[in-house]
Amino acid sequence: MGKGELTIPLKRKRAVHSRRPHGLLFIIPLLLLFSTHPDAAHSALQSKGQEQQKRETGNKDQIDDPFKKGRSIMEEVERRAKSVSEHLFLTMIIRDSAGKERKRALEVWNEYNQDGRRKNLMRFTSPQMVRNTGLLSLEREAGEDDQWLYLPILRKSKRIAASAKTNEFVGTDFTFEDLSAENIDDFKYEFQGEQETGGHTCFVVKAIPLESRAKSTGYSERIIFIRKDIYAPVMIQHYDWDGKFYKKWLASDLVHVKDECWRANREEMIKVIENKCTILLIDRRISSDTLDNAIFTQRELTKEY
Amino acid sequence: MTGKKNFIIITIFLISAFLLPWYQKGVQCAPFGTFDINILGRGYAYFQPAPGEEKETLGETKINLTYSNTFRKGLFFKLSSRLQIDTDQQSEGALDSYKDNDRKRKIFDVNEGFIEHRLGRFDYFLGKRILSWGKGDHFNLSDKINPKDYTDFLDNEKMGILLAGVKLYPTRNSQLEACLIPFFTRSRIQFSDSRWAPCGQGFRIEEDIPDDAMQYASRYSLYLNNLDIDVTYMRKTEDLATCLIVPTPMIGSPDLYGPPGLVAQYRKMNLFSIEGATTMADQFELHAGAAYHDIDKNELYGQFIQYLLGINYTLEEKLPFSKSVKLIGEYLGDIDINKPENKKLIVLDFSRIFENSLFMRITSKLTDFSDFQIGNLFSLEKSFNDILRLEYTYNPNDKLEFKAGLDLIWGDDQLIFEQFEENDRMWISIKYLF
């Protein structure tokens, strides 16, 4: 275990669900996101939002049912994450078990509808081998997302099925699922206590896919660590369907983007058993209330540079 | 003379495309675009010598150069060219033409050179370009705009053609695309002096190409919740010929005939297709479609419908030797609506070779850097006809790609496969991307 990581003795059980599971993370994008430097975070909270923050936190603390409390925390995380649209320029570093690295650059556009549904477009800009490969995800009101993959070698976009979402995205340690929006109605969240992580007090919430979601997720459960002061996920532990600790997502270098929204400038997805990882570094971030809707279309997905 | 003229036109066009954005007042242009260079070397070892010679190997080198740039105001330019040489002299000449109907490839080949300009809900594009339509992975009902290069029958790369087109975006989830193709370009097949000649050696072949070269195509695409739909109409000359057997009258003796010859006829037709793609049970991508073909000379060819059923499935279970397995399966069927009486004259209909065929491809991801692929295409129409490709790919990094493969072909004497039955081969390739 590395510095600041969790040591809670969480007992692993095989999931009760009949089929495959899967996880949520809302987040890469979401993930791709949140939080702040501790100091900056605290000072920000101490200003205008502090009272409200305390009130909300207080209310959540008063909930006794661990599932209701877990759900309540996740709703707050989602609310804050969905408040900002972003255009990101990223560097992706894929490090194998021997320490050999491959670097890739990509652009990501991320937005939430007024009804909270997420839209995401990402496209590799280098190196040549993956340039212009893109993924468009549109969260639907019910059921799985609409997802299309554009491969420049085929010169057309292909709709991909949910089963494909458990596949790794273009050789990275992120799966399509990791890059999809997380619908909190697809999971059961159990509050498991508070834990000091990276110098911050974090809520620890276990996410278990519901039966309807189980067949399209690669994870039987995830343990999500959420900073109590800013409601930003900083670590997620993923367990596979054999109940093994499989992957770990870490967020650091958190920055205050807007209002109560925090984002991570560095994310890491570590495959624990294979000792390999993918690191995402935000090189440039353009945040706004909304993005041009024309971005999340086939026209933009199939555009080459 | 025509070649020089074509060269001048293309040169002017390309220079204009470069300069156009610089003349837009107040618009800053990207000083440099993206240059991509890659080198591909391939070596083939055939199990049997080529007809008429002892040669059993083939080596080729291709250097691909691509330049692209997106200027301000949504003006995109792309130029894709290739230098290629091989030990079979399958390439000759250095100047490309927009019709590119030569039997041999060019040593310096410009496969694409076009501009695309985005204006609000409207795009237009002009130049030599490759388009990909249709929902299929291997068989495609409506992907018939570009001809293909069958110099190597199993490679069949698309050839760029000169076209002008527009795209309209009436809503965020729909688009209407139309293009005009002013010149007819046939697919490249070497009818003789090649182990991939489809009609055997020594046939006298004449070509029958329609005088009306103008072709056009349009497509309406709709992206709904969990359903994509394409509706396509095109008026097109088939880029693959139908070969008819014809008697050859002997000079001076109209009642006597010599050995029969072949006429390669390129048919004009209307094509209307509808295709769809969806996902089901969160596990499968399914696509299907049907295309109605109405051939102009219908007393000989009639009308027919091709239909396609396809599936994509990825298995992510932990398998003994694989991280994941991806399966693609497609069936292409064919129904005669109006069967011609004298169809027996047709000895080879390239466009309907696979009229009742199955395609399957299984890709197994062995490690993060390597995969193994089995591709199989077989006809259910006659007896055993099959093309099998085994392929291993290794990418030690983002710049290098090694491949090794084995191609096996079986066929009876009723189909084109029989011609290629002796072309079983092993091959390796190395690609370096700068």
Length of chain B in terms of residues written: 434
What percent of chain B lies above the pLDDT cut of 70?
79
pLDDT score of B7: 63
Contact A93, A102 (CB under 8 A): yes
User: Is B313 part of the contact surface with chain A (CB cutoff 8 Å)?
Assistant: yes
Is a pLDDT exceeding 90 seen at residue A164? Answer: no
DSSP-derived 3-state class of residue A72 = helix
Nearest-CB residue to B282 (from A128, A131, A216): A216
pLDDT score of B219: 97
User: Is B431 part of the contact surface with chain A (CB cutoff 8 Å)?
Assistant: no
| Lowest mean pLDDT across A74-88, A227-241, B218-232 | A74-88
pLDDT score of B9: 57
DSSP-derived 3-state class of residue B1 = coil
Phi, psi of B286 (to 5 degrees): -120, 140
pLDDT score of A31: 39
B248: confidence class by pLDDT, cuts 50, 70, 90: low
Is a pLDDT exceeding 90 seen at residue A260? Answer: no
As a whole number, mean pLDDT of residues A253-276 equals 88
| A244: amino acid identity, one letter | K
Q: Report how far apart, in Å, the C-alpha atoms of B70 and of each of A3, B34, B83 are.
A: 45, 9, 25
pLDDT score of B254: 62
Place of tokens 């769809």: B276
pLDDT score of A188: 92
Phi, psi of B399 (to 5 degrees): -105, -25
d(CA B348, CA B262): 10
pLDDT score of B233: 97
Interchain contact, A144 vs B279, CB within 8 Å: yes
B8-23 residues labelled b (16+ CB within 10 A) or e (exposed): eebeebbeebbeebee
Q: What is the ipTM of this complex?
A: 0.85
User: Is B133 part of the contact surface with chain A (CB cutoff 8 Å)?
Assistant: yes
As a whole number, mean pLDDT of residues A255-279 equals 89
d(CA B161, CA B410): 33
B204-225 residues labelled b (16+ CB within 10 A) or e (exposed): eeeeeebeeeebbbbbbbebee
Chains A and B form CB pairs within 8 A to the count of 105
Cα maximum dimension of chain B:
76
B241: confidence class by pLDDT, cuts 50, 70, 90: confident
- The pLDDT tens digits of the residues spanning A44-71 come to 434 444 444 444 455 555 667 888 899 9
d(CA B173, CA B189): 39
Selected residue with higher pLDDT from B48 and B201: B48
- Strand-pairing partners, residue A22, are none
Interchain contact, B433 vs A305, CB within 8 Å: no
Interchain contact, A127 vs B133, CB within 8 Å: no
Across A221-225, B84-88, B203-207, the highest mean pLDDT is recorded for A221-225
User: Is A278 part of the contact surface with chain B (CB cutoff 8 Å)?
Assistant: no
Chain A residue numbers with beta carbons less than 8 Å from the beta carbon of B123 are 299
Closest CA to A31 of A266, A295, A210, A204: A266
pLDDT score of A10: 36
B244: confidence class by pLDDT, cuts 50, 70, 90: confident
Is a pLDDT exceeding 70 seen at residue A43? Answer: no
As a whole number, mean pLDDT of residues B123-141 equals 92
User: Is A131 part of the contact surface with chain B (CB cutoff 8 Å)?
Assistant: yes
